[in-house]
Structure 1
Amino acid sequence: MTVTHRLTRIAFGLSFGLAFACAQAATTVTVASFPSFDEAVKAAIPLYKKAHPDVEIKLVSLAFGDHHNAMTTALATGTNLPDVMAVEVGFIGKFAESGGLEDLSKAPYSAMQYQNKFAKFTFPQATGGVGNVAAMPADIGPGALFYRKDLLEKAGISEGDLTKSWDSFLESGKKLKAASGTYLLSNAVDLKDIYIRTGLKDGEGIYFDSKGKVLVNSPRFAKAFELAKAARTAGLDAKIAAWSPEWSEGFKRNQVATQMMGAWLAGHFAQWLAPNTKGNWRSAQLPNGGFASWGGSFYAIPKAAANKKEAWEFIKFMTLNKDMQIEAFRKLDAFPALIEAQNDPFLDQPIEFLGGQKARQLWKVAADKIPAVAVDKFDGTAQDIVNAELDKVLEQNKDIKTALADAQTQIEKRVRRKK
């Protein structure tokens, strides 16, 4: 072999080695998410890069509805799927039922070994009602009552008046409306949504029991409908749909005095919903001593993902790393699902938007008391039908007993057709 040939082979070997190294370094994990949950990924990218220099994280973010619609289509067709999929809790059942997500309870993931590290109600949510672990919990939504302290004080209403009981809550709304014309609620539907989630025990479901029996035609739903109807009849709600432009405007213009949702709403208020109302809001526990989960975000791996191993490592970083959980908490006010992060001193810091209130301590109390509610894969179907019947009660004065009986029948028929 001549010197020229030898040098050529060495050069080729070096080139091949460099090409292989570049290929190794070019592993790109695509993460599909939605605002403002995507902020956690943005915060994680430089931190993850330091620990994993051979992995690039590519974030693809769409509006909440567009993201979940796109993921629904991608799972149905098996195309255009990311490596890591962000999923809001309300969509887990639908996505899990599609069969397009990895079962994280099985090797090589073995997610069940981490169950005790998370709030007890998160893993039942993560099954989507199909028995598999379809996703890993990232943040949770302890139900909270947010209220405008300034507006209520002008009407002579205290926090205790709001939270003592549901009847007291509505009476406070009447007093508020009479004093200033301000609405107590953006929409009476909120009362139903919160009430049906309170008072449950571990293992109980919202719409179905453990054997799949529909629970809608029951005293719990009847009371929820009655509360919503009472609020609408008394003119206490602005009839504004959540997440609409009118919803945000209602808060910005001091037209709505309370909102019941997950604790994460504080971050939304401060960042984009009503930043001009800084210092006027406070957080409290739900009325009548109730505790409920409202929302929560998860990460899943599609079966057709190209980089499952790297995707799982990134998900573990986002969900099991205390520092990353706290960083997301700082960025989003998204309450961490990881128990270790829930015990961090950060929870003791005052929240400027809430007038310096140490509200995270309240949310921690709620998180500890929220039951591990069972999830059914037909929860989404039941929710749509119940909402349609409640709309008839509120808009067309349909009898509540009849509405619930009709909802029960429709859900049972729909479930039979899908099985």
Structure 2
Amino acid sequence: MSTSLRLGAIALAIGFSGLANAGTTLTVASFPNFDAAVKAAIPLYKKAHPDVEIKLVSLAIGDHHNAMTTALATGVNLPDVMAVEVGFIGKFAASGGLEDLSKAPYSAMQYKTKFAKFTVPQAMGGAGNLTAMPADIGPGALFYRKDLLDKAGVTEAQLTQSWDSYIASGKKLKAATGSYLLASAVDLKDIYIRSGLKDGEGIYFDKQHRPLVDSPRFVKAFELAKAARTAGIDAKISAWTNEWSEGFKRSQVASQMMGAWLSGHLDSWIAPNTKGLWRSAQLPNHTFASWGGSFYSIPAKAEHKKEAWEFIKFMTLNKAMQLEAFRSLDAFPALIEAQNDPFLDKPIAFLGNQPARKLWKVAADKIPAIAVDKFDPVANEIINAELEKVLEQNKDIKQALADAKTQIARRVRR
């Protein structure tokens, strides 16, 4: 179906009910590429709500969240609808500057079972209030260059069987092709600290907000990162840098663990020259974890809350709109109804016509509902700084984690 026909069908599915007050301009603040979903929605929303104008304000993801932090603190330049990446929800929820969507007139908890189970705890941000509605999710996936692995005689099964086999595969790959297995050893830490958790458990803190960073889970995560660095199989490149993109374009990095949405980024702008060479697999060692995710919130001091809520429902609860974002962005839908659409069975040309979305759906169903703490970003920053000392200065792992725990406890008490 062509884009124009598909959009027309969506408009028919949406209908023409729920007109807002005449002359309302709804300001939506977002960031690339999440803003593309809003751009696609504007003409469709106008058909259902002809008296509502949508003004999209988009900034780079860091600039957007910095601007929203300032706006929430000052009450100035607040949008009506605020896009929030999952890593910022705890911070924004703790500020008290967002509407509690679980309360009237929103009563959004009635929709809880419509979304992937781990999204609503994320949306509560550790504050006990529902401060956001989930739009898309990032089922963790391993993307790898099949051509490079074939050249090294490494199979997908060997790559994913265990963390030790993943590192061993990297050594074999490096010897045969000169390519690094992964961009950064930090990626191993990031995935491992999210593995083996149960519903309700936190990554960095327990339910009493006590740091967990000296636990065996973090020790193993640091050990894996150190093993990768010692083996020389990581390129020492940080994600989202120019060097990171070039590593993929030039076939210098052969795998990346990230959210399922990475496939769309690789295809559209990071490394389109490698189309057909990549494949997707589940994370090594039968691990299932969430990587990223996008949400919509309403600032407590927003001018048009009623209209904002209607727009958020349109973006998150409407199957047709969720699927449109999925098609155009590879933004895996949070809405379960959209996850069960036959679209998931379609092959992905960039991934060698692999029907990889079916794998991502399996992962989405297995990801635990992890508790979010408002101090998670603080803990993440401190942990990364200590891991850097382990990798670059050979600091003792247990000492590094003990120091991290002390620093986190000090920051939390402030």
Q: Give the TM-score band, short-chain normalised.
A: over 0.9
Q: Which residue, out of 189, 213, 218, partners 1:216? A: 213
Q: Which residue, out of 147, 151, 170, partners 2:148? A: 151
Query: Shift of residue 147 of structure 1?
Result: 0.2
CA distance in 2, matches of 1:130, 1:257: 40
CA distance in 2, matches of 1:76, 1:188: 36
Partner AA of 1:189 in structure 2: V
CA distance in 2, matches of 1:415, 1:399: 24
Structure 1 partner of 2:99:
102
CA distance in 2, matches of 1:352, 1:52: 36
Structure 2 partner of 1:329:
326
> How many residue pairs get matched?
395
Structure 2 partner of 1:232:
229
Partner AA of 1:104 in structure 2: L
CA distance in 2, matches of 1:377, 1:63: 23
Query: Shift of residue 249 of structure 1?
Result: 0.6
CA distance in 2, matches of 1:321, 1:235: 47
Query: Shift of residue 34 of structure 1?
Result: 0.5
Structure 1 partner of 2:338:
341
Aligned positions of 1:249-268 closer than 5 A:
249-268=246-265
Aligned positions of 1:34-73 closer than 5 A:
34-73=31-70
- C-alpha root-mean-square deviation of aligned residues, in Å? 0.9
Structure 2 partner of 1:198:
195
Query: Shift of residue 25 of structure 1?
Result: 3.1
User: Deviations along 1:361-395, whole A, 9 cap, x unmatched?
Assistant: 00000000000111111111111111110011011
Aligned partner of residue 401 in structure 2, secondary structure:
helix
Partner AA of 2:390 in structure 1: V
- Correspondence 1:403 to 2:373: no
Q: Which residue, out of 387, 391, 395, partners 1:390? A: 387
User: Deviations along 1:74-121, whole A, 9 cap, x unmatched?
Assistant: 111110011000000000011111111111111111111100100000
Partner AA of 1:127 in structure 2: M
CA distance in 2, matches of 1:281, 1:96: 38
Structure 2 partner of 1:304:
301
Aligned partner of residue 208 in structure 2, secondary structure:
coil
Give the TM-score of the pair, scaled to structure 2. 0.94
Aligned partner of residue 133 in structure 1, secondary structure:
coil
Structure 1 partner of 2:157:
160
Aligned partner of residue 104 in structure 1, secondary structure:
coil
Aligned partner of residue 66 in structure 2, secondary structure:
helix
Structure 2 partner of 1:320:
317
CA distance in 1, matches of 2:88, 2:55: 23
CA distance in 2, matches of 1:91, 1:100: 13
Structure 2 partner of 1:273:
270
CA distance in 2, matches of 1:270, 1:312: 33
Structure 1 partner of 2:12:
none
Aligned partner of residue 177 in structure 1, secondary structure:
helix
CA distance in 2, matches of 1:324, 1:29: 18
Partner AA of 1:399 in structure 2: D
Structure 2 partner of 1:182:
179
CA distance in 2, matches of 1:24, 1:76: 29
Aligned partner of residue 74 in structure 1, secondary structure:
helix
User: Deviations along 1:43-80, whole A, 9 cap, x unmatched?
Assistant: 11111111111111111111111111111111111100
Structure 2 partner of 1:361:
358
Q: Which residue, out of 237, 241, 246, partners 1:244? A: 241
Aligned partner of residue 134 in structure 2, secondary structure:
strand
CA distance in 1, matches of 2:407, 2:207: 19
Identity percentage over the alignment?
81
CA distance in 2, matches of 1:29, 1:150: 48
**Structure 1: 5+ residue stretches without partners:** 1-22
CA distance in 2, matches of 1:335, 1:120: 14
**Structure 2: 5+ residue stretches without partners:** 1-19
User: Deviations along 1:288-331, whole A, 9 cap, x unmatched?
Assistant: 00100110000000111111000000000000000000000001
Query: Shift of residue 24 of structure 1?
Result: 4.6
Structure 1 partner of 2:376:
379
Partner AA of 1:259 in structure 2: Q
Of 69-78 and 356-365, the range deviating more from structure 2: 69-78
User: Deviations along 1:189-214, whole A, 9 cap, x unmatched?
Assistant: 00000011011111111001112121
Aligned partner of residue 25 in structure 1, secondary structure:
coil
Aligned positions of 1:115-134 closer than 5 A:
115-134=112-131
CA distance in 2, matches of 1:93, 1:74: 16
Ranges of 4+ aligned residues in structure 1 off by more than 2 Å: none
